[in-house]
Amino acid sequence: MSNFLPKRLIARLDVKGENLIKAVHLEGLRVVGNPQEYAIKYYEDGADEIIYLDIVASLYVRSNLVDIVRKTANNIFIPLTVGGGVRSVDDVSSLLKAGADKIAINTAAVKNPSLISEVSNKYGSQCMVLSIEAKKKQEGAGWEVYTDCGRESSGMDVVDWVNQAIRLGAGELLVTSIDQEGTKKGFDNDLIQAISSIAQVPIIASGGFGKDSHLLEVAEAGADAIAFADALHFEKYSLADLRNLALKSGIETREYA
Task: State residue 198 phi and psi, 5-degree precision.
Answer: -125, -10
Question: Could you tell me how far CA 159 lies from the centroid of its own chain?
Answer: 17
Question: Catalytic pick from 48, 91, 133, 224?
Answer: 133
Check 14, 48, 91, 224 and give the catalytic one: 14
Is 101 an annotated catalytic residue? no
Which residues make Cβ contacts (< 8 Å) with residue 111, sequence separation at least 6? 147
**CB neighbours of 9 closer than 8 A, spacing ≥ 6?**
46, 47, 48, 225, 226, 228, 239, 242, 243, 246, 253, 254
Q: Based on the residue annotation, tell me whether 152 is a catalytic residue of this protein.
A: no
DSSP secondary structure code for residue 7 in this structure: B
- Residues with a catalytic annotation lie at 14, 133
